[in-house]
C-alpha cells in the first residue's frame, strides 16, 4: 500500500516531466540497492531494496548538488546543463508544474479513494434503506441541554468553532475533543443569517477506564441521502477536512503539543494498518476492513501531499521556494548553494526517519 502511494507521487513527477520535454533518467520505487531494473530507452526503471521512498531522477535536476547520485539518482548518467531536455534548462513555469505534480497526484488519489468510499463502501445503518451523509446542521436538540440554554438551536448550521472553519462533522469532532473547558465559541447560520454564539456549553464526561475527558454530544445532526452529486461534494469536503487536520497537526507538533511517541514511520504505519484491517471472518468484517483500509490510504496520501508542499529543504515545497524566487527576481539561486540546502535537508529527513523508526520498534516491547 505504501509503495502504491509513493508510485502515484513519483508518477506525477514522471508524466509531467515527459510532457514538459524533460528527460527522465531513472524512475525507481524504493531506496537503496537495486533489486530489479529494466528499460532500454532513455529511462531506466527499477525496484530497490528499501520500500521507504522512491524517486524520479530527471536530467539536470540536481545540477551543482553534491553527489546527487548518492541520494538516489542515477550514477551512470552525466548531467549536461546545456541539454535541451534538461530540467534546469526549462522555463520556470514548466519546472513548477513538474514539482507540483507529485503532491497533486497524491491529493487526486485521495479524492478518488473518497469517491470509492462514499459511493461504494458506505452502507446503510440503523435499518435505513439508503446511505445518509451527516451534515453540520443540527437536527434535534433538547431544551434542557446546556447547549440549548447557551443559545444553540435545532436547524442551526455550524460554520465555525473557536475561530476555525467547520467543513465536516470530523472538524466538529476534532474541535470538541481538543477543547479544554467544555465551552465553545460558535458561528452558525440560522434562517439564512450568520449568528455568533459565544460560550456555548457542553456537558463534560470522563471515561472511567481510561480517565479521558470528552464532551457529550447534546444534539443529533441532519443526514442527507446519498446521490451522485452530493457524493462528489461529500468527498471534496472530506479531503479539505483531512488536509486541514494534517496542517493543524503539523502546527501543533511544532508548538510542542505532540511528541516523538505521536509520530509514526513506515514500521508504525504498517502496524496501524494491520490493526485497522484486523481479522476478516464474516462479510461484515470484510466490508469494515475495506472501509478502514481505504480511509487510512486517504489519510496517508493526503498527508504525503500536504507534507511534500511544506517549504522545507529536500521536499517539493523547498524546490518551489527556489523556483518562485527565480520567477520573481529573474535570477536563479546558484545551483551549488541550492544543492547544498537540499542535501542538508535530505540528511535531516533521513535522521528523523531513523529516530522515528527506532521509536516505532521500541513500541512493540512496551
Where are the alpha helices (H) located in the chain, listed in sequence order? Answer: 2-19, 92-116, 146-149, 169-178, 228-254, 266-277, 283-308, 316-329, 335-363
Q: Residue 127: which pLDDT band, with cuts at 50, 70 and 90?
A: low
pLDDT (mean) for 313-322: 88
d(CA 235, CA 229): 10
Cell of 280: 476478516
For residues 244 and 161, the answer to whether their CB atoms sit within 8 Å is no
Share of the chain above pLDDT 70, in %: 88
pLDDT band of 206, cuts 50, 70, 90: confident
- Determine the pLDDT at residue 126: 62
Domains annotated for the chain, with CATH where assigned, are 1-130+229-366 (no CATH), 132-225 (2.30.42.10)
Report the pLDDT averaged over residues 321-334: 89
Given the residues 10, 44, 61, 338, select the one marked as catalytic.
10
pLDDT tens column, 9-41: 999 999 999 999 999 999 998 888 899 999 878
The pLDDT value given to residue 67: 35
What is the mean pLDDT of the segment spanning 135-152? Answer: 91
Over range 116-145, report the average pLDDT.
85
Q: Provide the 10 A C-beta neighbour count for residue 94.
A: 17
Which residues are within 8 A (CB) of 3 and not within 5 positions of it... i.e. 6 or more apart?
29, 30, 51, 54
Among this protein's residues, is 10 annotated catalytic?
Answer: yes
Sequence-distant (≥ 6) Cβ neighbours of residue 69 within 8 angstroms: 75
Amino acid at each position: 500500500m505504501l509503495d502504491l502511494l509513493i508510485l502515484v507521487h513519483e508518477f506525477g513527477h514522471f508524466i509531467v516531466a515527459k510532457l514538459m520535454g524533460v528527460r527522465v533518467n531513472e524512475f525507481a520505487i524504493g531506496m537503496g540497492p537495486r533489486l530489479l531494473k529494466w528499460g532500454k530507452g532513455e529511462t531506466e526503471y527499477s525496484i530497490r531494496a528499501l520500500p521507504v521512498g522512491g524517486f524520479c531522477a530527471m536530467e539536470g535536476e540536481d545540477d551543482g548538488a553534491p553527489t546527487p547520485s548518492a541520494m538516489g539518482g542515477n550514477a551512470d548518467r552525466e548531467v549536461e546543463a546545456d541539454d535541451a531536455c534538461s530540467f534546469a534548462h526549462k522555463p520556470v513555469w514548466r519546472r513548477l508544474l513538474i514539482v507540483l505534480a507529485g503532491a497533486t497526484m497524491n491529493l487526486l488519489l485521495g479524492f478518488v479513494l473518497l469517491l470509492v468510499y462514499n459511493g461504494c463502501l458506505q452502507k446503510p445503518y440503523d435499518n435505513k434503506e439508503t446511505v445518509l451523509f451527516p451534515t453540520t446542521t443540527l437536527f434535534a436538540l433538547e431544551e434542557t441541554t446546556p447547549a440549548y440554554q447557551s443559545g444553540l438551536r435545532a436547524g442551526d448550521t455550524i460554520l465555525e468553532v473557536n475561530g476555525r472553519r467547520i467543513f465536516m462533522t470530523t472538524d466538529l469532532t476534532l474541535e470538541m475533543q481538543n477543547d479544554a473547558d467544555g465551552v465553545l465559541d460558535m458561528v452558525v447560520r440560522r434562517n439564512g443569517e450568520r449568528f455568533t454564539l459565544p460560550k456555548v456549553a457542553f456537558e463534560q464526561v470522563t471515561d472511567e477506564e481510561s480517565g479521558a475527558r470528552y464532551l457529550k454530544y447534546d444534539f443529533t445532526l441532519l443526514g442527507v441521502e446519498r446521490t451522485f452529486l452530493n457524493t462528489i461534494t461529500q468527498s471534496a469536503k472530506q479531503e479539505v477536512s483531512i488536509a486541514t487536520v494534517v496542517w493543524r497537526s503539523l502546527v501543533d507538533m511544532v508548538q510542542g503539543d505532540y511528541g516523538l511517541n505521536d509520530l509514526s514511520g513506515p514500521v508504525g504505519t504498517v502496524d496501524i494498518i494491520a490493526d485497522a484491517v484486523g481479522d476478516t471472518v464474516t462479510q461484515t468484517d470484510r466490508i469494515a476492513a475495506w472501509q478502514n483500509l481505504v480511509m487510512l490510504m486517504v489519510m496517508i496520501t493526503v498527508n504525503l501531499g500536504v507534507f511534500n508542499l511544506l517549504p522545507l529543504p529536500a521536499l517539493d515545497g523547498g524546490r518551489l521556494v527556489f523556483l518562485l524566487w527565480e520567477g520573481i527576481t529573474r535570477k536563479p539561486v546558484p545551483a551549488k548553494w541550492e544543492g547544498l540546502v537540499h542535501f542538508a535537508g535530505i540528511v535531516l529527513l533521513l535522521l528523523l526517519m531513523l529516530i522515528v523508526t527506532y521509536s516505532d520498534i521500541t513500541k512493540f516491547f512496551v
